[in-house]
Amino acid sequence: MTDFDLLGIGNALVDVVAQADDAFLAANNLDKGGMMLIDPAQADALYAKLGPATESSGGSCGNTMAGFASLGGRGAYIGKVRDDQFGTVFRHDLEAIGVTFKTPAAQEGPSTGRCLVVVTPDAQRTMSTYLGAATELTADDIDANLVQAATVTYLEGYLFDPPEAKAAFVRAAEIAHAAGRKVAITLSDSFCVDRHRASFAHLVDSHIDILFANEDEILSLYEVNNFDDALQAVRGQCEVACLTRSEKGSVIVSGDEVHVVDAEPAKQVIDTTGAGDQFAAGFLFGYTHGRGLAESGRIGGIAAAEIIAHYGARPEVELKTLLPSG
Protein backbone atom coordinates (compact mmCIF):
# COMPACT_ATOMS: atom_id res chain seq x y z
CA MET A 1 0.00 0.00 0.00
CA THR A 2 1.22 3.47 -0.84
CA ASP A 3 1.55 6.28 1.71
CA PHE A 4 -0.68 8.57 -0.35
CA ASP A 5 -3.59 7.95 -2.67
CA LEU A 6 -3.06 11.16 -4.58
CA LEU A 7 -0.26 13.67 -5.06
CA GLY A 8 -1.37 16.92 -6.67
CA ILE A 9 1.01 19.32 -8.40
CA GLY A 10 -0.38 22.76 -9.11
CA ASN A 11 -0.21 26.52 -9.05
CA ALA A 12 -0.52 27.59 -5.41
CA LEU A 13 -2.83 30.60 -5.40
CA VAL A 14 -4.89 32.65 -2.99
CA ASP A 15 -8.24 33.82 -4.38
CA VAL A 16 -9.19 37.47 -3.89
CA VAL A 17 -12.93 37.55 -4.51
CA ALA A 18 -14.94 40.71 -5.12
CA GLN A 19 -18.31 41.54 -6.64
CA ALA A 20 -18.72 43.81 -9.65
CA ASP A 21 -21.10 44.36 -12.54
CA ASP A 22 -20.74 43.69 -16.26
CA ALA A 23 -19.70 47.30 -16.87
CA PHE A 24 -16.67 46.71 -14.65
CA LEU A 25 -15.66 43.70 -16.77
CA ALA A 26 -16.03 45.73 -19.96
CA ALA A 27 -14.12 48.71 -18.60
CA ASN A 28 -11.24 46.45 -17.64
CA ASN A 29 -11.25 44.24 -20.75
CA LEU A 30 -12.13 41.15 -18.75
CA ASP A 31 -13.67 38.25 -20.66
CA LYS A 32 -16.62 37.02 -18.59
CA GLY A 33 -16.16 33.51 -17.25
CA GLY A 34 -12.58 33.31 -18.51
CA MET A 35 -9.16 33.12 -16.88
CA MET A 36 -6.37 35.37 -18.03
CA LEU A 37 -2.80 35.68 -16.81
CA ILE A 38 -1.68 39.10 -15.64
CA ASP A 39 1.64 40.56 -14.51
CA PRO A 40 2.22 42.18 -11.11
CA ALA A 41 1.56 45.71 -12.38
CA GLN A 42 -1.74 44.60 -13.94
CA ALA A 43 -2.63 42.76 -10.74
CA ASP A 44 -2.00 45.85 -8.63
CA ALA A 45 -3.93 48.07 -11.04
CA LEU A 46 -6.92 45.73 -11.19
CA TYR A 47 -6.93 45.22 -7.41
CA ALA A 48 -6.94 48.99 -6.90
CA LYS A 49 -10.15 49.20 -8.92
CA LEU A 50 -11.84 46.21 -7.25
CA GLY A 51 -14.34 46.68 -4.46
CA PRO A 52 -13.94 45.16 -0.99
CA ALA A 53 -12.79 41.56 -1.28
CA THR A 54 -12.39 38.40 0.75
CA GLU A 55 -9.37 36.13 0.57
CA SER A 56 -9.32 32.35 0.59
CA SER A 57 -7.05 29.58 -0.60
CA GLY A 58 -7.60 28.50 -4.17
CA GLY A 59 -5.72 27.11 -7.12
CA SER A 60 -7.39 24.45 -9.24
CA CYS A 61 -5.31 21.57 -7.91
CA GLY A 62 -5.38 22.93 -4.36
CA ASN A 63 -9.17 22.85 -4.57
CA THR A 64 -9.07 19.28 -5.89
CA MET A 65 -6.86 18.22 -2.99
CA ALA A 66 -9.25 19.88 -0.54
CA GLY A 67 -12.10 17.87 -2.05
CA PHE A 68 -10.04 14.69 -2.06
CA ALA A 69 -9.21 15.10 1.64
CA SER A 70 -12.85 15.88 2.38
CA LEU A 71 -13.78 12.54 0.79
CA GLY A 72 -11.37 10.80 3.16
CA GLY A 73 -8.46 10.36 0.75
CA ARG A 74 -4.79 10.58 1.74
CA GLY A 75 -3.36 13.47 -0.22
CA ALA A 76 -0.14 15.37 -0.72
CA TYR A 77 0.57 18.55 -2.66
CA ILE A 78 3.52 20.10 -4.44
CA GLY A 79 3.41 23.79 -5.35
CA LYS A 80 5.30 27.01 -4.73
CA VAL A 81 4.39 29.85 -2.42
CA ARG A 82 6.51 32.69 -1.09
CA ASP A 83 7.30 33.00 2.65
CA ASP A 84 4.60 35.68 3.02
CA GLN A 85 1.15 35.89 4.63
CA PHE A 86 -0.75 34.56 1.61
CA GLY A 87 1.72 31.69 1.42
CA THR A 88 1.08 30.95 5.07
CA VAL A 89 -2.67 31.02 4.42
CA PHE A 90 -2.40 28.64 1.47
CA ARG A 91 -0.25 26.17 3.40
CA HIS A 92 -2.43 26.34 6.49
CA ASP A 93 -5.63 25.66 4.59
CA LEU A 94 -4.20 22.49 3.01
CA GLU A 95 -2.51 21.19 6.16
CA ALA A 96 -5.63 21.93 8.20
CA ILE A 97 -7.53 19.32 6.20
CA GLY A 98 -4.76 16.77 6.40
CA VAL A 99 -3.02 17.29 3.05
CA THR A 100 0.75 16.92 3.28
CA PHE A 101 2.44 20.00 1.79
CA LYS A 102 6.21 20.13 2.25
CA THR A 103 7.40 22.17 -0.75
CA PRO A 104 9.58 24.87 0.83
CA ALA A 105 8.35 28.43 0.40
CA ALA A 106 10.52 30.66 -1.77
CA GLN A 107 12.50 33.08 0.39
CA GLU A 108 12.94 35.62 -2.38
CA GLY A 109 11.35 36.51 -5.69
CA PRO A 110 7.70 37.18 -6.45
CA SER A 111 5.02 37.06 -3.77
CA THR A 112 2.56 34.19 -3.46
CA GLY A 113 0.35 34.00 -6.54
CA ARG A 114 -3.16 35.34 -6.42
CA CYS A 115 -6.25 35.03 -8.52
CA LEU A 116 -8.46 38.11 -8.66
CA VAL A 117 -11.97 36.73 -9.01
CA VAL A 118 -14.73 39.08 -10.11
CA VAL A 119 -18.20 37.72 -9.36
CA THR A 120 -20.95 39.32 -11.46
CA PRO A 121 -24.62 39.40 -10.42
CA ASP A 122 -25.29 36.36 -12.66
CA ALA A 123 -22.88 34.42 -10.38
CA GLN A 124 -20.26 34.00 -13.08
CA ARG A 125 -16.64 34.19 -11.98
CA THR A 126 -14.08 35.98 -14.13
CA MET A 127 -10.49 35.28 -13.13
CA SER A 128 -7.29 37.29 -13.57
CA THR A 129 -4.30 35.38 -12.26
CA TYR A 130 -0.93 36.68 -11.20
CA LEU A 131 1.08 33.46 -10.86
CA GLY A 132 3.78 35.02 -8.67
CA ALA A 133 5.80 32.48 -6.73
CA ALA A 134 3.98 29.62 -8.50
CA THR A 135 6.22 30.27 -11.51
CA GLU A 136 9.25 29.45 -9.35
CA LEU A 137 8.31 25.78 -9.13
CA THR A 138 11.06 23.78 -10.81
CA ALA A 139 11.94 20.15 -11.36
CA ASP A 140 14.05 20.40 -8.20
CA ASP A 141 10.86 20.83 -6.18
CA ILE A 142 9.62 17.41 -7.26
CA ASP A 143 10.23 15.22 -4.23
CA ALA A 144 10.89 11.81 -5.77
CA ASN A 145 9.99 9.99 -2.54
CA LEU A 146 6.61 11.67 -2.52
CA VAL A 147 5.88 10.79 -6.14
CA GLN A 148 6.91 7.18 -5.55
CA ALA A 149 4.74 7.08 -2.45
CA ALA A 150 1.53 8.17 -4.24
CA THR A 151 -0.81 5.86 -6.14
CA VAL A 152 -1.63 8.64 -8.60
CA THR A 153 0.22 11.87 -9.37
CA TYR A 154 -2.20 14.51 -10.66
CA LEU A 155 -1.20 17.64 -12.54
CA GLU A 156 -3.01 20.86 -13.08
CA GLY A 157 -2.90 21.84 -16.76
CA TYR A 158 -2.46 25.48 -15.79
CA LEU A 159 1.08 24.49 -14.79
CA PHE A 160 1.85 24.51 -18.51
CA ASP A 161 1.93 28.29 -18.41
CA PRO A 162 5.10 28.66 -16.35
CA PRO A 163 7.73 26.76 -18.45
CA GLU A 164 9.79 25.51 -15.52
CA ALA A 165 6.69 23.91 -14.07
CA LYS A 166 6.12 22.02 -17.30
CA ALA A 167 9.56 20.48 -16.92
CA ALA A 168 8.74 19.71 -13.30
CA PHE A 169 5.70 17.79 -14.40
CA VAL A 170 7.58 15.69 -16.92
CA ARG A 171 10.06 14.86 -14.16
CA ALA A 172 7.22 13.82 -11.87
CA ALA A 173 5.63 11.66 -14.58
CA GLU A 174 8.90 9.84 -15.23
CA ILE A 175 9.48 9.14 -11.55
CA ALA A 176 5.89 7.96 -11.11
CA HIS A 177 5.99 5.55 -14.01
CA ALA A 178 9.39 4.18 -13.01
CA ALA A 179 7.81 3.33 -9.65
CA GLY A 180 4.77 1.72 -11.29
CA ARG A 181 2.42 4.56 -10.35
CA LYS A 182 -0.22 6.32 -12.42
CA VAL A 183 -0.18 9.85 -13.79
CA ALA A 184 -3.25 12.04 -14.32
CA ILE A 185 -3.79 15.50 -15.74
CA THR A 186 -6.59 17.98 -16.14
CA LEU A 187 -6.44 20.22 -19.19
CA SER A 188 -7.77 23.03 -16.93
CA ASP A 189 -8.87 25.57 -19.53
CA SER A 190 -9.46 25.64 -23.28
CA PHE A 191 -7.39 28.81 -23.68
CA CYS A 192 -4.55 27.11 -21.83
CA VAL A 193 -4.88 24.19 -24.28
CA ASP A 194 -4.82 26.67 -27.20
CA ARG A 195 -1.60 28.16 -25.91
CA HIS A 196 0.13 24.83 -25.42
CA ARG A 197 -1.66 22.38 -27.72
CA ALA A 198 1.38 20.53 -29.07
CA SER A 199 2.90 20.10 -25.61
CA PHE A 200 -0.38 18.85 -24.21
CA ALA A 201 -0.96 16.40 -27.04
CA HIS A 202 2.55 15.03 -26.70
CA LEU A 203 2.24 14.75 -22.95
CA VAL A 204 -1.12 12.97 -23.09
CA ASP A 205 0.21 10.55 -25.65
CA SER A 206 3.46 9.78 -23.85
CA HIS A 207 3.00 10.33 -20.13
CA ILE A 208 -0.66 10.31 -19.12
CA ASP A 209 -2.75 7.46 -17.77
CA ILE A 210 -5.84 9.41 -16.72
CA LEU A 211 -7.04 12.51 -18.54
CA PHE A 212 -9.67 15.00 -17.33
CA ALA A 213 -11.13 17.47 -19.80
CA ASN A 214 -14.37 19.28 -20.33
CA GLU A 215 -15.98 19.54 -23.73
CA ASP A 216 -14.29 22.81 -24.76
CA GLU A 217 -10.90 21.54 -23.69
CA ILE A 218 -11.05 18.20 -25.48
CA LEU A 219 -12.36 19.85 -28.67
CA SER A 220 -9.47 22.29 -28.50
CA LEU A 221 -6.90 19.58 -27.86
CA TYR A 222 -7.84 17.61 -30.95
CA GLU A 223 -9.06 20.59 -32.99
CA VAL A 224 -12.38 18.93 -33.73
CA ASN A 225 -15.87 20.41 -33.79
CA ASN A 226 -18.01 17.87 -32.02
CA PHE A 227 -17.90 15.73 -28.94
CA ASP A 228 -18.09 12.37 -30.73
CA ASP A 229 -15.04 13.16 -32.82
CA ALA A 230 -13.18 14.20 -29.68
CA LEU A 231 -14.21 10.98 -27.99
CA GLN A 232 -12.86 8.92 -30.88
CA ALA A 233 -9.65 10.96 -30.91
CA VAL A 234 -8.90 10.45 -27.23
CA ARG A 235 -9.73 6.74 -27.20
CA GLY A 236 -6.51 4.80 -26.94
CA GLN A 237 -4.40 7.88 -26.17
CA CYS A 238 -4.47 7.11 -22.45
CA GLU A 239 -5.77 4.44 -20.12
CA VAL A 240 -8.77 6.46 -18.94
CA ALA A 241 -10.26 9.69 -20.24
CA CYS A 242 -12.90 11.47 -18.14
CA LEU A 243 -14.82 13.94 -20.28
CA THR A 244 -17.09 16.22 -18.29
CA ARG A 245 -20.12 17.85 -19.87
CA SER A 246 -21.66 20.07 -17.15
CA GLU A 247 -25.38 19.26 -16.74
CA LYS A 248 -25.04 16.37 -19.22
CA GLY A 249 -22.82 14.52 -16.78
CA SER A 250 -19.63 12.80 -17.85
CA VAL A 251 -18.34 10.18 -20.21
CA ILE A 252 -15.60 7.84 -19.04
CA VAL A 253 -13.63 6.19 -21.83
CA SER A 254 -11.19 3.34 -21.25
CA GLY A 255 -10.15 1.03 -24.09
CA ASP A 256 -13.38 -0.41 -25.44
CA GLU A 257 -15.42 0.73 -22.44
CA VAL A 258 -17.53 3.87 -22.61
CA HIS A 259 -19.49 4.80 -19.48
CA VAL A 260 -22.04 7.58 -19.75
CA VAL A 261 -22.64 8.93 -16.24
CA ASP A 262 -25.58 11.23 -15.50
CA ALA A 263 -24.94 14.46 -13.67
CA GLU A 264 -25.79 14.29 -9.99
CA PRO A 265 -28.73 16.56 -9.18
CA ALA A 266 -27.50 19.69 -7.38
CA LYS A 267 -29.56 21.26 -4.59
CA GLN A 268 -29.16 24.55 -6.40
CA VAL A 269 -26.77 26.00 -8.94
CA ILE A 270 -25.05 29.05 -7.46
CA ASP A 271 -21.57 29.06 -8.95
CA THR A 272 -20.32 26.44 -11.41
CA THR A 273 -16.62 27.34 -11.18
CA GLY A 274 -14.66 24.57 -9.56
CA ALA A 275 -17.01 21.79 -10.66
CA GLY A 276 -14.24 20.25 -12.76
CA ASP A 277 -11.77 20.36 -9.85
CA GLN A 278 -14.22 18.49 -7.64
CA PHE A 279 -15.16 16.00 -10.35
CA ALA A 280 -11.47 15.07 -10.54
CA ALA A 281 -11.30 14.80 -6.74
CA GLY A 282 -14.29 12.46 -6.68
CA PHE A 283 -13.26 10.33 -9.63
CA LEU A 284 -9.72 9.91 -8.33
CA PHE A 285 -11.04 9.05 -4.88
CA GLY A 286 -13.11 6.26 -6.40
CA TYR A 287 -10.29 5.15 -8.71
CA THR A 288 -7.76 4.93 -5.87
CA HIS A 289 -10.24 3.12 -3.62
CA GLY A 290 -11.11 0.25 -5.92
CA ARG A 291 -14.43 1.56 -7.19
CA GLY A 292 -15.18 0.88 -10.84
CA LEU A 293 -14.97 3.54 -13.52
CA ALA A 294 -18.70 4.29 -13.66
CA GLU A 295 -18.91 4.41 -9.86
CA SER A 296 -15.87 6.68 -9.72
CA GLY A 297 -17.52 8.96 -12.25
CA ARG A 298 -20.60 9.07 -10.08
CA ILE A 299 -18.53 10.09 -7.05
CA GLY A 300 -17.00 12.81 -9.21
CA GLY A 301 -20.51 14.02 -9.99
CA ILE A 302 -21.49 14.01 -6.31
CA ALA A 303 -18.48 16.16 -5.38
CA ALA A 304 -19.18 18.53 -8.29
CA ALA A 305 -22.86 18.86 -7.31
CA GLU A 306 -21.85 19.94 -3.80
CA ILE A 307 -19.49 22.66 -5.01
CA ILE A 308 -21.85 24.28 -7.51
CA ALA A 309 -24.55 24.64 -4.84
CA HIS A 310 -22.61 27.41 -3.05
CA TYR A 311 -20.07 30.18 -3.61
CA GLY A 312 -16.46 29.21 -3.20
CA ALA A 313 -14.33 26.50 -4.72
CA ARG A 314 -13.73 24.28 -1.71
CA PRO A 315 -16.35 21.98 -0.16
CA GLU A 316 -18.52 23.31 2.67
CA VAL A 317 -19.56 19.89 3.95
CA GLU A 318 -17.52 16.76 4.55
CA LEU A 319 -17.84 15.10 1.17
CA LYS A 320 -17.35 11.66 2.68
CA THR A 321 -20.80 11.96 4.24
CA LEU A 322 -22.22 12.15 0.70
CA LEU A 323 -20.49 9.00 -0.58
CA PRO A 324 -22.52 6.03 -1.75
CA SER A 325 -21.61 2.94 0.24
CA GLY A 326 -19.27 0.72 -1.77
Helix (H), strand (E), coil (C) string for 104-170? CCECCCCCEEEEEEEECCCCCEEEEEEEEHHHHCCHHHCCHHHHHCEEEEEEEHHHHCCHHHHHHHH
What's the closest the beta carbon of residue 138 comes to a copy of itself, in angstroms? 24
Binding mask 68-87 for a copy of itself (x = CB under 8 A): ----------------xxx-
If one asks whether residue 206 binds a copy of itself (CB under 8 A), the answer comes out as no
CB of 153 to a copy of itself, least distance (A): 23
Residues in binding contact with a copy of itself, number by CB under 8 A: 23
Q: Which stretch binds a copy of itself (CB under 8 A): 42-50, 196-204, 208-216, 256-264?
A: 42-50
Residue 292 or 312 with smaller CB distance to a copy of itself = 312
Q: How far is the CB of 170 from a copy of itself (least distance, A)?
A: 31
Q: Does 56 bind a copy of itself (CB under 8 A)?
A: yes
Please, what is the minimum distance in Å from the beta carbon of residue 186 to a copy of itself?
A: 22
Q: Does 64 bind a copy of itself (CB under 8 A)?
A: no
Residue among 15 and 209 whose Cβ is closer to a copy of itself: 15
Site mask, a copy of itself, residues 111-150, x = CB under 8 A? xx--------------------------------------
Give the residue with the Cβ less far from a copy of itself, 55 or 140. Answer: 55
Query: In terms of DSSP bridges, do strands 100-101 and 112-119 run parallel, antiparallel, or are they unpaired?
Result: unpaired
| Choice between 93 and 189, CB closer to a copy of itself | 93
Cβ atoms 63, 316 nearer than 8 A: no
| Shorter beta-carbon distance to a copy of itself: residue 34 or 98 | 98
| Minimum CB distance to a copy of itself, residue 134 (Å) | 16
Phi, psi (rounded to 5 degrees) for 268: -160, 160
Residue 153 vs 273, nearer CB to a copy of itself = 273
Between 86 and 200, name the residue whose CB sits nearer to a copy of itself.
86
CB closer to a copy of itself out of 105 and 224: 105
- Contacts with 76 (C-beta within 8 Å, 6 or more apart), sequence order: 4, 6, 7, 8, 99, 100, 101, 102, 146, 149, 150
Residues lying near a copy of itself in the complex (CB under 8 A) are found at 18, 47-48, 50-57, 66, 84-86, 89, 92-93, 96-97, 111-112, 314
